Amino acid sequence: MGLTVVGEDLIASGHPGADTPPELGDHNLGIIRSADAGVSWEPAAFTGEKDFHALAAGSDGTVYGLATDAIDVLASKDGGDSWAPTGGQLMAVGLVVTSGGNVVAATPDGLRVSTDGARSFEPWPGAPMLYALSVSPNGELIAGVDADEKIWVHVSGASAWKEVGIVHGTAQATAITDTGSILVADDSGLTLLPPAP
């Protein structure tokens, strides 16, 4: 499942559950949107057709997505209603967008970075192999987890990544708060790490 925020709206994708209204899609939800913090959802695009596990939004409102059935990165500039290929192609388990508008992808071959609106991606030299990527609300801090379950962060402008903790089992997701604290959902539940010094 993918989830991102655009303004006040939540944009999500995934598979329906037992209680999912049928109008949201069967087998794949496509892109769905909520304007009330997830209380209710409406279909936006690709209903019943696609499953996006990687969704990320930039500060300009552009949403980037990668469906599980393709390697083409797609972008939406209208809150998820319409999508177009960016020209970038890759397999990724996660996407984030930094404050500078760079699109960062967690791929099986390591982190890749796009500085041109996801039209092309280059390796991030010296970056650890990460999954469960997240970015702070201001786009200045990226967090992720490596295969050894170490938690890494990168601050905008820094030359290197920093190890800040370890998860307990397999991390399902990470999130970063407004204050820079890192939330990790893993086999032991939800853990809050204070901001990295």
Give the domain extent around 28. Answer: 1-91
Q: What is the mean pLDDT of each run of 10 residues along the chain (197 residues)?
A: 92 87 84 95 94 94 94 97 97 96 97 98 97 95 95 94 92 94 92 82
Residue 138 within any structural domain of the chain: no
Asked, for residue 78, whether it belongs to a domain, the answer is yes
The pLDDT value given to residue 51: 92
Q: Is residue 31 part of a domain?
A: yes
Question: Strand pairing partners for 194?
Answer: none
Residue 25: per-residue pLDDT: 79
How many separate domains does the chain show? 1
Residue whose structure tokens are 């499953």: 51
* Strands in 70-188 per DSSP E: 72-76, 84-89, 94-97, 103-107, 110-114, 122-123, 131-135, 141-145, 150-155, 162-166, 173-176, 182-186
